[in-house]
Amino acid sequence: MKIGVLGSGAMGSGIAQVAATNGHNVVLVDTNAEAINKASGKLQKILARLVEKGKIDESTSHSIFSRIEFTTNNQQFVSCRLIIEAIVERLDVKKIVFSELENIVGNECILATNTSSLSVASIAAACDKPERVIGLHFFNPAPLMPLVEIIPAVQTSQETVKTARDLIDSWGKVTVLTKDTPGFIVNRVARPFYGEALKIYEEGIADFVTIDWAMTELGGFRMGPFTLMDFIGNDINYSVTESVFAAFYYDPRYRPSLTQKRHSEAGWHGRKTGRGYYNYSENAVKSEPSKDEVVGQEIVDRIVVMLINEAVDALFLNIATTEDLDLAMTKGVNYPKGLLSWADEIGLNVVLKRLEALQDLYGDDRYRPSPLMKRMVKSGAKFFN
């Protein structure tokens, strides 16, 4: 199967590399000639580095690169059987692009979007054959991150779902099936990792470095929330939070933070700008965390119960299966445990008590426990036996 990828940024180039590594001829298109040349040079460097590390040999490197056609001409998509769009996260732009793609490709070609939170149904609605449109959400960097969220729109045919999932599975990826709702699994369930950490900071309970210390050293997370937001970019993370908040009709659970908004407005986007929650300039001195384990454990417990509640509610609303929800968070964002498994380990009754205490203290609907959690505590049920 010939694969097309639209957009030669980090995500699009990564997806093209994955497809070519798995033996497919790939057409990588970007309307910007400078961007497509840059992508070609960057991929050559990545492959050379893989050869240096002994991950692949010279012959394999040459084969992978030779299977990718770098072009600014989207008419080269004509013989592709699957096209994955990885361009700017704007619904209006994506709808125009998908309508144009449909006039280039054959009737059997699947059209996929790599959107991280936009409505796949809205994108599909721009097409005459919406049943062939699907969401395939890869995680950055695509060659290294195992997870791909498979997102059928309400219009997507079962044949399209099966063909797309079988293909991505054959690439050695871990696929999870998720309903077409804002943020899908990962970007929805992970919101409290950032939002609750920001709230804890705003209340003066702990500073950035102490919260990060607690979540990594005591919680077992690979990165603390502020280090991760600086890595992602505060502009990107804040815009995703805003879009998820609006898409959920301003549910207080997804309320953005003024602290993040101010950092974004100041241009303190994180590592890429040299300043975010931390200062990345050459002579910057990073402050030390306050290693109070009692306070640290309270921080971990508060953020983890919020994450668990989000995962439980996603299950309650049939966003994904129990297994897929846990897989998504361990394989997509490297959480130390699946959140539903973690809930079983802590005890759902304990999680519920902590949430109810927070809701009682703040009187804020962001802490409302999922009805499924209440139901399961009442019956003594677990997610896994």
* CA atoms of 188 and 119, how far apart (whole Å): 13
Residue 137 a catalytic site member: yes
Report CA-CA distances (Å) from 331 to 141, 238, 334, 374.
13, 23, 5, 28
Catalytically annotated residue among 114, 116, 119, 341: 116
Does residue 239 have an active-site annotation? no
Which residues, 6 or more positions from 331, have their beta carbon under 8 angstroms from its beta carbon? 145, 146, 147, 174
Q: Which of 8, 114, 137, 269 is catalytic?
A: 137
> Cα separation of 328 and 22, whole Å?
23
Pairing of strands 3-6, 26-29: parallel
Q: How far from 265 is each of 1, 11, 198, 234, CA to CA, in Å?
A: 45, 25, 16, 9
Q: Considering the candidates 85, 102, 149, 310, report the single residue annotated as catalytic.
A: 149
Catalytic residue among 8, 114, 187, 237: 187
Strands 82-85 and 133-138: unpaired
CB 244 within 8 A of CB 182: yes
| C-beta separation of 149 from 176 below 8 A | yes
DSSP for 138-158?
E-SSTTT--EEEEEE-TT--H
What are the strands of the beta sheet with 3-6, ordered from one edge?
Answer: 68-71, 26-29, 3-6, 82-85, 110-113, 133-138, 147-152, 174-177
Catalytically active residues, by annotation? 116, 137, 149, 187
